[in-house]
Amino acid sequence: MASKAAQKRLTKEFVAMQKDPPPFIWAVPDEKNILTWNYIIRGPPDSPFAGGEFHGVLLFPSEYPFKPPGIKMLTPSGRFHPDKKICFSMSDFHPGSWNPAWSVATILTGLLSFMLSDEMTTGSVNSGDAQKRQFSSRSHAWNLTQVRFKEAFPDYCTQIPKDVPNMGGQRQHQPPPPSLFNPPTQQMPSFANLPPSTPGVLPPASTSDMVKPKPADEPAPGAAGAAISWGEVLWDKWRWGVLIAIAVVVSRLSSARS
């Protein structure tokens, strides 16, 4: 039976797994016992396990997260003995190196990394890449014959192997969600291809057609233009008369002083 600490921790990790699963990995707890988890590892495309679907189990102690789990891979893979505990740094073979901060995601990511290496240990198998590819190509068909797989992953019992939620880089190329600092860009509608006679739609004005707002005290263009035109006409007509009148006044002032 799981302790309260184990129950709380594994429940939290199940939520985290659903929200943000690691690449090529999916895992769920057993419906009857939260200390037992079933996992799927999908072979990365650049490895001998490409296309493979490998089912296994994590066996957590009641003292988790203070003690590590036992780890098995049930699907024949050419890398591990089926249904035999695997010895690596995050398993119950090495309680001294266990870190309570490690999680289900951390453990299975470490297992995948160990699977892709050639290191031999308890529970491992020595085989070539060709054999691993053969096991990978047969893995899904083998899983479909296993009651435990069908009970744990009914949604994955399809004719063709189903991708786990995170198949590597596919998640990394998703556009970031909109936020206050990253608002979604909206493309303005284009009116360039609309015919001039389209009713109810005006074509966009060019920058040369734009009218700048005028200050409140600025006269209307028509009134200002008319005032300037009349002023020029009057000045051209009367300027000589004004100059003559000024000359007469200056002359009379000079005579009076003499």
What angle is formed at CA 150 by the lines to CA 71 and CA 36, rounded to 5 degrees?
30
Report, as an integer, the average pLDDT of 114-121: 96
In a domain, 103, yes or no: yes
* Confidence check: pLDDT of 240 > 90: no
Same domain, 126 and 228: no
Q: Is residue 140 part of a domain?
A: yes
CATH number for the domain spanning 143: value is 3.10.110.10
pTM for the model: 0.66
CA torsion through residues 86, 87, 93, 96, sign: negative
Tell whether 112 and 29 lie within a shared domain. yes
Q: Could you tell me the residue range of the domain that residue 137 belongs to?
A: 4-171
* Residue pLDDT, tens place only, 27-71: 999 999 999 999 999 999 999 999 999 999 999 999 999 999 999
Domain membership of residue 243 (yes or no) is yes
Read off the pLDDT band of 93 (50, 70, 90).
Answer: very high
Is residue 80 pLDDT above 80, yes or no? yes
**What confidence score (pLDDT) does residue 111 get?**
98
Q: Domain boundary residue among 144, 171, 198?
A: 171
**Are 42 and 131 part of one and the same domain?**
yes
Known catalytic membership, residue 157: no
Do 153 and 25 have their domain in common?
yes
Domain end call among 155, 171, 187: 171
Q: Give a yes or no: residue 189 inside a domain.
A: no
Cβ–Cβ under 8 Å, residues 1 and 62: yes
pLDDT in tens, 164-210: 999 996 544 344 443 333 333 334 333 344 444 434 343 444 434 44
Q: What is the pLDDT of residue 245?
A: 56
Q: Does residue 145 share a domain with residue 240? A: no
Three-class SS of residue 53? strand
Shared domain check, 240 and 144: no
Asked whether residue 60 is assigned to any structural domain, the reply reads yes
Domain shared by 115 and 230, yes or no: no
Residue 204 lies in a domain: no
Q: Which of 87, 105, 125, 144 is catalytic?
A: 87
**How far is 57 from 107, CA to CA, in rounded Å?**
12
More confident residue, 199 or 73: 73
On whether both 140 and 36 belong to a single domain, the answer is yes
In a domain, 162, yes or no: yes
Stretch (H or E) spanning 185: none
* Predicted pLDDT of residue 1: 87
Placement of tokens 């590590």 in the chain: 68
Look at the chain and report how many structural domains it folds into.
2
Is position 200 within any domain?
no
Cα torsion 3, 7, 10, 142 to 10°: value is 90
Q: How many CA atoms lie within 13 A of 44 on its CB side?
A: 12
Q: Which pLDDT tens digit goes with each residue over 205-235? A: 443 444 444 444 444 445 444 444 555 544 4
Q: Choose the final residue of a domain: 143, 171, 199.
A: 171
Residue in the block written with tokens 């309570």:
100
Euclidean distance between CA atoms 40 and 30, whole angstroms: 14
pLDDT at 258: 46
Q: What is the mean pLDDT of residues 88-111?
A: 96
